[in-house]
């Protein structure tokens, strides 16, 4: 008999481990082939865009591309000295600017730097126009004075220091903006003025609304899920269809229905006026503000809370509560001490699902949110499609992503992701 | 009422129960349980036994009638005020609490102090030999251990009555038998009153002081295990408890204690008159397989018939033999495995017989 420490062998003397691996190889290859199409699809349409977005949030190669020699020359200059850059730097800028003006790319850089300080867009457009006509052979003054004569801003240290600051391959400015921070001319980071800071408030509001929506879905969803889990199969199936019904109608339709219901001339206001509870002049404004967002999103996200709760409650043996009651617990104590703790996994799963969905919700706040009901995702969409500041959109998106990840990790630490049951 | 009912701890009086208003699940139940008694409700599924248990525990209201606990009518008392311990088939241990917390739960809701609580929990766990498991979760215990914990938990708060709803149903055979004795011993030691529900007759016979055999919402017979087996009152009980041979025939003669029943093939069987409708009526004869004598001497027993062995099943200590007798070929005879009589082959014709006393003439189905 071979001892246990000796490597086991098959009948033909091949090591058992090798043999096992061989026999499993085919299985593994098949599994890989089955996953491959979806994996490729996700790689191309999901992971790669996310990676690209993360890059965009810090990417700043535009300055180096448009002003290649200026960037090299600027590296030697110290903006803290308070002195204007040397003549050769102005010369490098004039040469780069002429090339860029002819290629019509100089205004793109202007637009990029305008994110940092307003006025740069027009400065670069103006300078570009002049540089196109500029002929160094006919120049009577220095490059420095020539540029200053085009626009007085070229004679200021701040102009140079901003280009100097933003001449790197990467920038932190998008992230600073996303946190309502700014860099002053000395390069120190400071808070923006209260009237121009919007994103922190927006993040706060998004988080607050999401928390509120999550709480409301728990409040409304818990009793329904309990009913679903405890009713007879026939009745509970019917109720389940009612819960699932919203999934079969378009999100847009559901949101529009809320507009019809909640608006000033809508069903609810009309009814209240007709009954005489409120006067015609004091109609409630329940839409195009955060109330509208709250109502519509709670309704839309409710099934995502009910389903995980239901699936957890379905597994809770009804004899738990009976046992607790027989041991002397009142109905409420039995619920609090025995039933409720067993549903926490469902609350956690539903809560994290609803929270993550609502933190990035877009259509509903856009339609019913008005001004104070919009969320961060609406601003991301705005920067992507309207203001075309993709860098800022990317930074905001990345912050949102990391926020969700942090919450996910927190949840894992507190409740344990293994306890999550989604169905 | 003629007898003095106030001596009983639990009384069901004319209790009826219907779930849908059309069908009575429990029909006019009258049942008294003495203090310290181990009473088992035995019956096939759907016979109403669990419903009775649930009514006593307070989870189902009685549709009609009254249930008394210690002479107090409890129909309107909520379950948590009844002070009845309960063991469920699914154990119903709270999965989010440790074993110790599970046992402490009934004491906690009774606002018992911590030190006293810990002491009682320890005693209860030691009683089921699980003292070392207090900090484990139910899921870390085997089925048998979980069931022990469930028993301990139902007893830890010293209830007057403990209800057990098929508590051993989920265990395998060996463990079930071991647990039967364990529960029986705990009952003897503590003197607690136990109402036990099962569909397993051997469980009922092993453990109980008295067994109530349920069928179709009615107690068919309420008696100690030996009486139930030896003297079944009707055909259902005879057939449900233990192995049984049924012969159906017409009563042709009737005297004070005995009668003669003629089977369709013309055999006249002398039987012990127990529960027959009268002369000329159908009756079911019940004969236990082990009471049949192979090759009896003439005159040894009043009933002797020719029989043909159709099938022999070897079961170790005895041989179960299917025979054709009196026109019935589903007649089983238990032949003890002692060398001289076991010498029987399939197809052999033998004479078999039985005593008049062992053949009970009961109601016809």
Which of these three, B213, B235, B257, is where a domain ends? Answer: B235
- Could you tell me if B77 lies within 8 Å of chain A, comparing CB atoms? no
pLDDT in tens, A218-227: 999 999 999 9
Q: Which residue of A has its CA nearest to B53?
A: A326
CA B225, B227, B228, B230 torsion-angle sign? positive
Q: Which of A320, A329, A333 sits opposite B92 (nearest CB)?
A: A320
- Please, what is the average pLDDT of chain A? 87
Which residues in chain B are contacts of A337 at CB distance < 8 A? 105, 109
Task: Determine contact, residues B75/B61, Cβ cutoff 8 Å.
Answer: yes
Q: Are residues B33 and B156 in the same domain?
A: yes
Taking residues B33-50, report their average pLDDT: 89
Which pair of structure tokens corresponds to residue A415? 């409740």
Q: What is the mean pLDDT of chain B?
A: 87
pLDDT of residue A84: 85
Q: Give me the phi and psi of B195, to 5 degrees please.
A: -115, 120
Q: Which residues of B touch A325 (CB under 8 A)?
A: 58-59, 78-80
Asked if residue B306 and residue B173 are part of one domain, the reply reads: no
Put simply, the answer to whether A341 touches B79 (Cβ < 8 Å) is no
**pLDDT tens column, B62-76:** 999 999 998 889 988
Q: Does B124 share its domain with B261?
A: no
Residue A270 burial (C-beta neighbours within 10 Å; 0-12, 13-18, 19+): middle
Tell me, what's the pLDDT at B339? 61
Whether the per-residue pLDDT at B3 is higher than 70: the answer is no
Which of A408-417, B1-10, B166-175, B237-246 is predicted with the least confidence, judged by mean pLDDT? B1-10
**Which tens digits make up the pLDDT trace of A20-35?**
888 889 889 999 999 9
Question: What are the sequence ranges of the domains in chain A?
Answer: 1-46, 62-171, 199-419
Confidence check: pLDDT of B250 > 60: yes
Q: Please give the residue that has the higher pLDDT: either A71 or B340.
A: A71
The correct answer on CATH 1.10.3720.10 for the domain covering A199-419 is yes
The band of A313, judged by pLDDT with boundaries at 50, 70 and 90, is very high
Domain shared by B78 and B156, yes or no: yes
Q: Are B281 and B250 in contact (CB under 8 A)?
A: yes
Identify which has the larger pLDDT, A79 or A401.
A401
Q: Around Cβ A11, how many Cβ atoms within 10 Å?
A: 6
Cβ burial B289-324 (10 Å sphere, 16+ → b, else e): beebbbebeeeebbbbbebebeebeeeeebbebbbe
Number of domains in chain B: 2
Domain that residue B273 falls in: 243-362
Task: Kindly state the DSSP code that residue B85 receives in the 8-state scheme.
Answer: E
Instruction: Give the per-residue pLDDT at A2.
Output: 45
Is B231 in the same domain as B151? yes
Looking at the structure, tell me whether residues B278 and B294 fall in a common domain: yes
Percentage, residues of chain B above pLDDT 70:
97
Q: Which chain A positions have a beta carbon within 8 Å of B53's beta carbon?
A: none
Which site among A328, A331, A333, A348 would you substitute to test the B interface, given the most B Cβ atoms closer than 10 Å to its Cβ? Answer: A328
Single out the residue in B235, B266, B293 at which a domain terminates: B235
Of residues B351, B329, B352, B342, the one with CA closest to residue B245: B329
Q: Is A116 exposed, middle or buried (0-12, 13-18, 19+ CB in 10 A)?
A: middle
ipTM score above 0.85 = no
In this prediction, residue B5 has a pLDDT band, given cuts at 50, 70 and 90, of low
Nearest chain B residue (CA) to A319: B92
Instruction: State mean pLDDT over A74-99.
Output: 87
The band of A1, judged by pLDDT with boundaries at 50, 70 and 90, is very low
**Contact residues, chain A, for B109 at CB < 8 Å:** 327-330, 333, 337
Residues 6+ apart with CB under 8 A from B149: B91, B93, B99, B102, B103, B125, B128, B130, B133, B138, B141
For the segment A75-86, the average pLDDT, to the nearest whole number, is 84
Same domain, B222 and B283: no
Beta bridge partners of A133: none
- In chain A, what residues touch B80 (CB-CB under 8 Å)? 325-331, 334
Shared-domain flag, residues B161 and B306: no
Is residue A352's pLDDT more than 50? yes
């Amino acid at each position: 008999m071979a001892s246990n420490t000796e490597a086991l062998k098959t009948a033909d003397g091949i090591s058992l481990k090798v043999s096992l691996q061989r026999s499993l190889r085919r299985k593994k290859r098949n599994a890989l082939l089955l996953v491959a199409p979806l994996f490729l699809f996700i790689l191309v349409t999901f992971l790669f865009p996310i990676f690209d977005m993360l890059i965009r949030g810090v990417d700043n190669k535009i300055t180096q591309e448009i002003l290649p020699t200026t960037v090299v020359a600027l590296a030697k200059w110290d903006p803290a000295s308070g002195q204007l850059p040397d003549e050769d730097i102005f010369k490098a800028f004039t040469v780069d600017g002429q090339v860029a003006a002819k290629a019509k790319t100089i205004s793109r850089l202007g637009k990029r730097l305008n994110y940092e300080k307003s006025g740069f867009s027009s400065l670069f457009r103006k300078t570009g126009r002049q540089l196109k006509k500029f002929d160094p052979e006919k120049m009577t003054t220095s490059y420095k004075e020539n540029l200053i004569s085009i626009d007085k801003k070229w004679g200021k240290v701040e102009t140079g220091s901003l280009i100097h600051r933003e001449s790197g391959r990467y920038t932190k400015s998008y992230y600073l903006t996303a946190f309502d921070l700014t860099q002053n001319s000395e390069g120190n980071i400071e808070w923006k003025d209260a009237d121009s800071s919007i994103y922190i408030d927006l993040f706060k509001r998004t988080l607050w609304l999401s928390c509120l929506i999550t709480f409301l879905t728990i409040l409304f969803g818990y009793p329904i899920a309990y009913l679903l889990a405890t009713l007879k199969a026939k009745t509970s199936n019917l109720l389940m269809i009612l819960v699932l019904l919203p999934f079969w109608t378009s999100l847009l339709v559901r949101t529009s229905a809320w507009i019809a219901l909640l608006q000033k001339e809508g069903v609810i206001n009309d009814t209240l006026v007709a009954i005489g509870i409120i006067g015609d002049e004091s109609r409630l404004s329940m839409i195009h503000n955060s109330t509208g967002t709250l109502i519509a999103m709670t309704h839309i996200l409710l099934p995502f809370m009910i389903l995980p709760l239901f699936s957890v409650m379905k597994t809770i043996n009804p004899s738990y509560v009976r046992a607790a009651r027989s041991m002397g617990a009142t109905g409420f104590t039995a619920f609090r001490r025995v039933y409720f703790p067993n549903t926490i996994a469902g609350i956690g799963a539903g809560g994290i699902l609803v929270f993550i969905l609502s933190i990035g919700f877009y259509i509903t706040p856009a339609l019913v949110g008005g001004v104070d009901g919009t969320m961060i995702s609406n601003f991301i969409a705005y920067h992507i499609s309207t203001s075309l500041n993709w860098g800022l959109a990317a930074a905001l998106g990345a912050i949102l992503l990391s926020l969700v990840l942090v919450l996910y990790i927190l949840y894992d630490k507190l409740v344990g992701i293994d306890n999550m049951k989604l169905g | 009422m003629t007898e003095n009912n106030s001596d009983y701890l639990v009384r069901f009086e004319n209790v009826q129960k219907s779930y849908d208003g059309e069908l009575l699940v429990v029909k006019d139940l009258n049942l008294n349980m003495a203090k310290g008694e181990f009473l088992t409700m035995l019956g096939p599924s759907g016979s109403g036994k669990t419903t009775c248990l649930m009514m006593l525990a307070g989870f189902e209201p009685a549709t009609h009638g009254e249930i008394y606990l210690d002479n107090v009518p409890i129909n309107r008392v909520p379950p948590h005020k009844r002070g009845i311990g309960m063991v469920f088939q699914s154990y119903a241990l709270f999965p989010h609490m440790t074993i110790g917390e599970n046992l402490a739960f009934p004491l906690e809701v009774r606002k018992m102090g911590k030190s006293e609580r810990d002491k009682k929990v320890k005693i209860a766990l030691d009683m089921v030999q699980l003292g070392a498991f207090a900090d484990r979760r139910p899921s870390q215990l085997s089925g048998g251990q979980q069931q022990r914990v469930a028993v301990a938990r139902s007893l830890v708060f010293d209830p007057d009555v403990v209800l057990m709803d098929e508590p051993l149903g989920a265990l395998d055979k060996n463990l079930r038998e071991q647990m039967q004795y364990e529960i029986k011993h705990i009952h003897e030691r503590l003197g607690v009153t136990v109402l036990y529900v099962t569909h397993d007759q051997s469980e009922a016979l092993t453990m109980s002081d008295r067994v109530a055999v349920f069928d179709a919402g009615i107690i068919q017979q309420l008696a100690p295990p030996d009486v139930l087996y030896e003297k079944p009152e009707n055909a259902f009980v005879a057939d449900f408890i233990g192995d049984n041979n049924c012969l159906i025939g017409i009563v042709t003669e009737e005297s004070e204690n005995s009668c003669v029943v003629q089977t369709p093939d013309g055999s006249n069987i002398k039987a012990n008159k127990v529960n027959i409708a009268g002369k000329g009526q159908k009756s079911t004869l019940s004969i236990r397989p082990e009471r049949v004598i192979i090759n009896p001497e003439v005159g040894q027993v009043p009933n002797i018939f020719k029989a043909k062995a159709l099938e022999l099943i070897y079961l170790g200590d005895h041989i179960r033999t299917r025979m054709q007798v009196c026109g019935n070929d589903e007649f089983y005879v238990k032949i003890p495995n002692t060398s001289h009589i076991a010498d029987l082959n399939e197809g052999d014709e033998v004479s078999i017989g039985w005593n008049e006393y062992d053949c009970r003439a009961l109601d016809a189905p």
